[in-house]
Structure 1
């Protein structure tokens, strides 16, 4: 096990959840990036809600987009959420791929056990 010292962040300077103390890094482990839409169709006053395609409904919905990064230990099958970003192009001008690039860069710049491999 490798101690994870502050490797987790949502990229906005806050820590809404407690990071796991240890990430079990494996030489065959890998990062998974995924985007998801939190469906907020009935909501019309929630900030960050915008129209976007949802793979769950196979249609355009009103929702909040989230780009996630998960580290998977291929030996144990365990996984850890490494980082996530809210997709809000009107606020920050970033695409989903920009967020992926930022997250990937942070995995290797920050004090992360992932940069050891």
Structure 2
């Protein structure tokens, strides 16, 4: 983890499975420009906490420090990718939904995982 500190803030429940498609259908997401497989929650959506977004307090959420002292990073692994959320100083969130390859790549960029995703092909599947 490149020296990153992780803290699980919710307890996982093995019976709860969630996919990217579940969240794409539930809320309005916008594809992040110049990316394949990365989405951000539309600003038209009301501000939501991670628990509200997931609809469950039974899904494991890992917390990491950010390089920006004014924010925290929260990571949720889904069956086919993951959610990365950034909590700002004012307690607002920016939520990003990522395909499996983009999820790994972004975690590496943030210093959360230590292996390089180079050689991992860009995700060409488009969820809508």
Q: TM-score range by the shorter chain?
A: under 0.3
Larger strand percent = 1
